[in-house]
């Protein structure tokens, strides 16, 4: 006997007779009450509801059975009041169901004891005696999801799997036809901030999808329809089981924090530990320069030789600029040869059984490799070991390249392996080789299905190619699939911000500052360069400058390269992600043992409207600051002390093609360091220690130095204090200048040794 499933996941028998069973008498619903959540589960009907206590946020009448039909199912329920996992502490209700001729299920609803998380999973076991084709399976479906208020004020966006698929801002009232995203779907009330995030936590076998639609025919303006399901596309043999993915339902009053929380859970579930295993270690200049802050010649017409000469001539090596590492730059494209260039061993000699009986349409008919075949995996492991041999102590990178159309293919050796599983099988040998043999190297993705790469990739391209130029006036009638312009970086970095520093180091692709291989023959203007370079340095954690470097460069472009490199492990979030597309405002909280502060970046990307941009920001909701405290603001590029604020901050009117980079530091009743000149991340890179001695009235610190680079400390001095003198280590001399409440201390170090400084008041 063989069965298959329909589009809803309903198992259809082709040669068996169904036995219809009457449902058991209704049992008392299971009631779970945690600190924040109230969940009720009707095991007999296989339905459940949840609400955040004391709020209007809730999901009602959730179901998961095909056709929402519990008839014929025998269901047993159990409750674990102490379900402690790496993802948190939960109360978990488990439903186990059987029905003749159907796949058995194990369905779990886990309610967090301390937060607003609900985790849902749906495992299956094939006890039908026949192979079963599984396509899509519903994990949760509800026609009654509420945030409070009405759907005309609910704004939704989501994240897709392909890195070239971005987001739109949707008013839920307009979603008569459901909008579907793959990684998460987030809906936020623009007035209250009440939010619902639906997203995945694991991606082991089933690829998740999340749908949102408005209430049907406008009869329910206070609710929306939601659905979470997984796509498998596998043939499940008799006797096999799988646990199912963990999908997250998170009600929140801060949608951006909810997205960051999802990424934290993804990192835990896939044991990523990015900052521990692949830190941007500023004490290891070679590693940072070659892996995170380097020359990237693609699309520029440049060369390593030109870049090396340019970096040396302008002292940029001291600013952590590198050439990608001495190690081989390998590639393991998931199709075909897997890279027959750049000196890496190719797959062209793999036997025919390692390839599928199909060729790609997207990539010029290239063969498709079959990673469901154990022989393929064995040969791939041998290939990567040859690649890494002799380079174990070097920096460098391996690249997963051009797999963004990866899916389940016909003719697999093992039809029970899903697209996620074959993708993981392809990447695992490279992950193992880097971790075990070459720990100073990184794995970078190019154009990958982002959610397939958890635990495999260290640096993830979050956009399509973005180094073709800044902007064009081309007509949309051209129907170009992608622009290849700076736009791609801006959009891709915005809706995938939550991954950065948690699951991957985000890469917005290469950027330009002046001369490159432009199709229109035009160089980047100074303002385009400023916006492009600053955005990459704030929104992501890699800096791949893509330039020709074969002509004299203006001094202001060299200054850009000095002030943006290298990245640190601090990450930013797009403050106005749900307000405007693209987001114009990015905030980077910085935490150090000696203090906390923020770096706020404001961009006016284009001059098409020829208007200045400004915004009023709430200290608590937008900037994650204490609304009852006063803060000092300094702007980096204009070298201006902006002033102080409490409760809200209004940004300076910003002209087209420009950006402001603010440092925001809590005001104290004594002098505080508010900025330094070395880096736009202002103190996040260069300050290694900082303290104030109240008894001696001394502000002291330790700064990283660059030989010959003028350096400035910017100190806010409140009433009652006046600078008396400054002392520097190594016998260095400094000058002081006071302008109102701003004290500047200038010096130039002759070496790259750290400088200890003390300012007496």
Q: For 99-118, what is the HEC assignment? A: CCCCCEEEEEEEEECCCCEE
d(CA 578, CA 188): 8
The full length of the chain comes to 761
**How many C-beta atoms surround the C-beta of residue 305 within 10 A?**
11
Is residue 573 situated within a structural domain?
Answer: no
Residue with tokens 């949840």: 50
Q: What is the mean pLDDT of residues 71-96?
A: 97
Residue 48 sits in a domain of what CATH number?
A: 2.70.98
Question: What DSSP element (H or E) covers 378?
Answer: helix 374-388
pLDDT at 361 over 90: no
In a domain, 576, yes or no: no
Residue 25, pLDDT above cutoff 80: no
Average pLDDT, the chain: 92
Is residue 572 a part of any domain in this protein? no
Domain shared by 295 and 362, yes or no: yes
Number of domains in the chain: 3
Tokens 């955005």 belong to: 535
Predicted confidence band of residue 130 (pLDDT cuts 50, 70, 90) = very high
Nearest Cα neighbor of 419 from 718, 182, 68 is: 182
Is the predicted pLDDT of residue 299 greater than 50, yes or no?
yes
Residue 349 CA to residue 369 CA, distance in Å, equals 12
Instruction: Clarify whether residues 683 and 545 are in a common domain.
Output: no
Confidence of residue 519 (pLDDT cuts 50, 70, 90): confident
* 467 and 606 fall within a common domain: no
Spatial CB neighbours of 637, under 8 Å, sequence gap ≥ 6:
530, 659, 660, 661
Residues 558, 674 within the same domain:
no
CB contact at 8 A, 657 and 607: yes
pLDDT surpasses 60 at 344: no
Cβ-contact 369, 378 below 8 angstroms: no
Is the pLDDT at 7 greater than 50? The verdict is: no
**Residue 300 predicted with pLDDT over 90:** no
Question: Quick check: 678 and 704 in contact, CB under 8 A?
Answer: yes
Burial 87-105 (b: 16+ CB within 10 A, else e): bbebbbbbbbbbbbbbbbb
Residue in 752, 681, 743, 707 with CA at minimum distance from that of residue 293: 681
Q: Which residues are registered as beta bridge partners of 136?
A: 231
H helix runs in 480-605, sequence order: 486-495, 526-539, 555-564
pLDDT score at 218: 58
pLDDT over threshold 60, residue 340: no
Are 282 and 264 found together in one domain? no
CA distance 651 to 602: 8
Residue where a domain terminates, one of 207, 236, 269? 269
Residue 577 lies inside a defined structural domain of this protein? no
For residue 710, list its beta bridge partners.
Answer: 748
CA distance 471 to 468: 9
- The CATH number that applies at residue 478 is 3.20.20.70
In 3D, which of 505, 513, 508 has the Cα closest to residue 546? 513
| Model pLDDT, residue 9 | 40
Residue % of the chain over a pLDDT of 90: 82
Q: Residue 500's closest CA among 717, 649, 278?
A: 278
pLDDT score for 339:
53
- Is 574 a domain residue? no
Q: How wide is the angle at C-alpha 449 spanned by C-alphas 446 and 453, nearest 5°?
A: 80
Q: Give yes or no: residues 366 and 462 share one domain.
A: yes
Q: What is the model's pLDDT at position 128? A: 97
Provide, for the chain, the percentages of residues in helix, strand and coil under a 3-state DSSP scheme, each rounded to the nearest 5.
20, 35, 45
Q: Are residues 558 and 608 in the same domain?
A: no
Distance CA 633, CA 665 (A): 7
> pLDDT by residue (tens digit) across 676-701?
999 999 999 999 999 999 999 999 99
pLDDT in tens, 211-264: 999 976 656 799 999 999 999 999 999 999 999 999 999 999 999 999 999 999
- pLDDT above 90: residue 628: yes
- Tell me what the mean pLDDT of segment 386-398 comes to: 93
* CATH code of residue 725: 2.60.40.1180
Q: Distance of CA 188 to CAs 177, 220, 225, 353, Å? A: 19, 18, 14, 50
417 and 361 inside one domain: yes
Q: Which two tokens stand for residue 526?
A: 């100074």
Domain around 738: 584-760
Q: How many helices (H) and strands (E) does the chain have?
A: 9, 45
Q: Name the least confident of 330-344, 396-410, 460-474, 725-739.
A: 330-344
Helix (H) or strand (E) holding 756: strand 755-760
C-alpha to C-alpha distances, 589 to 281, 572, 664, 716, nearest whole angstrom: 19, 7, 9, 20
- Residue 19 forms part of a structural domain: yes
681 and 610 share a domain? Answer: yes
CA distance 71 to 742: 75
Q: Is the peptide bond before 380 cis (omega within 30 degrees of 0)?
A: no
Given pLDDT bands bounded at 50, 70 and 90, which one contains residue 193? very high
Closest to 98 measured CA to CA, from 124, 68, 62: 124
Tell me if 630 is assigned to some domain. yes
Using left for φ > 0, alpha for ψ between -120 and 50, and beta otherwise, residue 168 falls in beta
642 and 542 fall within a common domain: no
User: Residue 6: its pLDDT value, please?
Assistant: 40
Average pLDDT over residues 723-742: 97
Q: Are 70 and 79 in contact (CB under 8 A)?
A: no
Flag whether pLDDT at 52 surpasses 90.
yes
- Which of 491, 526, 738 is CA-nearest to residue 637? 526
Mean pLDDT for 541-563 is 96
Q: Are residues 184 and 314 in the same domain?
A: no
pLDDT for residue 674: 98
Q: Which pLDDT score, from 0 to 100, does residue 348 have?
A: 73
Distance between CA atoms of residues 369 and 350, nearest Å: 9
C-alpha span between 100 and 123 (Å, rounded): 17
pLDDT at 501: 98
Residue 192 has pLDDT above 90, yes or no: yes
Q: State yes or no: pLDDT of 608 exceeds 90.
A: no
Which one is predicted more confidently, 193 or 334?
A: 193
What pLDDT is stored for residue 338 in this prediction? 59
Q: 254, 269, 284: which is the final residue of a domain?
A: 269
Interval 435-464 mean pLDDT = 94
Is a pLDDT exceeding 80 seen at residue 741?
yes
Q: What pLDDT shows up at residue 327? A: 84
Domain-located, residue 315: yes
For residues 438 and 637, give the distance between their C-alpha atoms in angstroms, rounded to a whole number: 40
Q: How far is CA 100 from CA 18, 27, 70, 104, in A?
A: 7, 22, 13, 9
The answer to whether the predicted template modeling score (pTM) of the entire model surpasses 0.85 is yes
Look at residue 541 and tell me whether its pLDDT is greater than 90. yes
Of 247, 160, 732, 214, which Cα lies nearest the Cα of 499?
A: 160
Domain boundary (238, 269, 300) is at: 269
Q: Return the number of other C-beta atoms located less than 10 Å from residue 16's C-beta.
A: 14
Do residues 265 and 385 both lie within one domain? no
Kindly write down the DSSP assignment for every residue of 312-364, as one continuous string: HHTTGGGGT-B-S-SS--EE--SBTTS--STT---STTS-GGGEEEEE-TTTT
pLDDT category at 341 given cuts 50, 70, 90 is very low
Give the H or E element holding residue 423: helix 419-437
Q: What is the pLDDT of residue 294?
A: 95
């Amino acid at each position: 006997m063989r069965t298959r499933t329909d589009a809803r996941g309903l198992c259809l028998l082709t040669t068996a007779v169904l036995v219809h069973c009457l449902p058991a008498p209704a049992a008392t619903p299971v009631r779970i009450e945690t600190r924040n959540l109230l969940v009720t589960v009707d095991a007999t009907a296989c339905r459940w509801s949840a609400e955040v206590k004391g709020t209007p946020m809730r999901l009602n009448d959730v179901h998961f059975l095909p056709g929402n039909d519990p008839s014929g199912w025998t269901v047993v329920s159990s409750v674990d009041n102490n379900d402690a996992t790496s993802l948190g502490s939960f109360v978990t209700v488990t439903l186990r169901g059987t029905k003749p001729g159907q796949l058995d299920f194990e369905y779990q609803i886990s309610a967090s004891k301390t937060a607003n998380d609900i985790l849902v999973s749906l495992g299956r076991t094939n006890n039908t005696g026949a192979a079963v084709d599984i396509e899509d399976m519903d994990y949760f479906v509800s026609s009654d999801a509420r945030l409070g208020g009405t759907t005309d004020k609910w704004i939704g966006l989501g994240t897709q799997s392909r890195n070239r698929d971005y987001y739109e801002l949707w008013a839920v009232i307009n979603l008569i036809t459901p909008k579907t995203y793959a990684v998460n779907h987030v809906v936020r009330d623009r007035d209250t901030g009440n939010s619902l995030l639906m997203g995945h936590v694991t991606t082991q076998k089933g690829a998740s999808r999340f749908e949102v639609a408005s209430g049907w025919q406008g009869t329910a303006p206070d609710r929306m329809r939601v659905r979470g399901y997984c796509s498998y596309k596998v043939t499940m043999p008799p006797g096999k089981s799988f646990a199912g993915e963990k999908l997250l339902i998170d009600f929140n009053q801060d949608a951006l924090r909810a997205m960051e929380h999802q990424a934290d859970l993804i990192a835990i579930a896939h044991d990523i530990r990015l900052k521990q295993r692949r830190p941007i270690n500023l004490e290891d200049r070679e590693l940072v320069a070659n892996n995170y802050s380097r020359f990237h010649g693609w699309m520029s017409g440049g060369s390593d030789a030109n870049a090396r000469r340019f970096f040396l001539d302008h002292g940029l090596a001291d600013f952590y600029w590198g050439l990608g590492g001495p190690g081989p730059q390998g590639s393991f494209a998931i199709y075909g040869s897997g890279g027959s260039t750049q000196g890496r061993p190719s797959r062209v000699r793999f036997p025919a059984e390692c390839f599928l009986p199909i060729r790609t349409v997207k990539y010029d008919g290239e063969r498709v490799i079959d990673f469901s075949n154990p022989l393929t995996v064995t040969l791939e492991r041998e290939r990567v070991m040859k690649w890494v041999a002799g380079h174990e102590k070097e920096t460098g990178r391996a690249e997963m390249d051009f797999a963004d159309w990866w899916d389940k293919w016909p003719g697999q050796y093992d039809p029970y392996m899903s697209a996620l599983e074959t993708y993981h099988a392809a990447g695992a040998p490279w992950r193992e080789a880097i971790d075990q043999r070459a720990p100073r190297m990184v794995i970078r993705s190019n154009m990958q299905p982002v959610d397939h790469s958890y635990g495999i990739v260290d640096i993830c391209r979050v956009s399509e190619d973005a180094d073709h130029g800044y902007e064009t006036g081309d007509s949309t009638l051209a129907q170009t699939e992608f622009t290849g312009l700076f736009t791609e970086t801006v959009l891709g970095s915005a809706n995938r911000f939550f991954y950065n520093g948690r699951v991957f180091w985000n890469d917005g692709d290469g950027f330009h500052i002046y001369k490159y291989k432009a199709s229109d023959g035009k160089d980047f203007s100074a303002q385009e360069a400023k916006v492009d370079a600053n955005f990459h340095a704030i929104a992501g954690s890699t800096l791949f400058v893509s330039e020709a470097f074969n002509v004299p460069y203006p001094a202001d472009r060299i200054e850009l390269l000095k002030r943006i490199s290298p990245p640190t492990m601090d990450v930013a979030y797009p403050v106005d992600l749900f307000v405007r597309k693209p987001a114009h405002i990015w905030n980077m909280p910085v935490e150090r043992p000696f203090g906390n502060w923020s770096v706020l970046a404001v961009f006016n990307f284009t001059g098409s409207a020829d208007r200045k941009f400004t915004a009023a920001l709430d200290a608590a909701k937008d900037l994650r600051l204490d609304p009852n405290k006063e803060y000092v603001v300094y702007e980096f590029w204009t070298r201006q002390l902006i002033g102080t604020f409490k409760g809200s901050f209004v940004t300076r009117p910003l002209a087209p093609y420009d950006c402001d980079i603010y440092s925001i530091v809590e005001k104290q009743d004594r002098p505080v360091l508010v900025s330094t000149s070395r880096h736009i991340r202002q103190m996040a890179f260069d300050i290694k220690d900082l303290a104030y001695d109240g008894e001696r009235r001394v502000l002291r610190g330790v700064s990283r130095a660059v030989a010959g680079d003028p350096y400035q400390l910017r100190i806010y001095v409140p009433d009652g204090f006046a600078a008396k003198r400054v002392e520097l280590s190594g016998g260095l001399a400094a000058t002081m200048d006071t302008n109102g409440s701003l004290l500047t201390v200038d010096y130039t170090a002759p070496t790259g040794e750290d400088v200890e400084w003390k300012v007496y008041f």
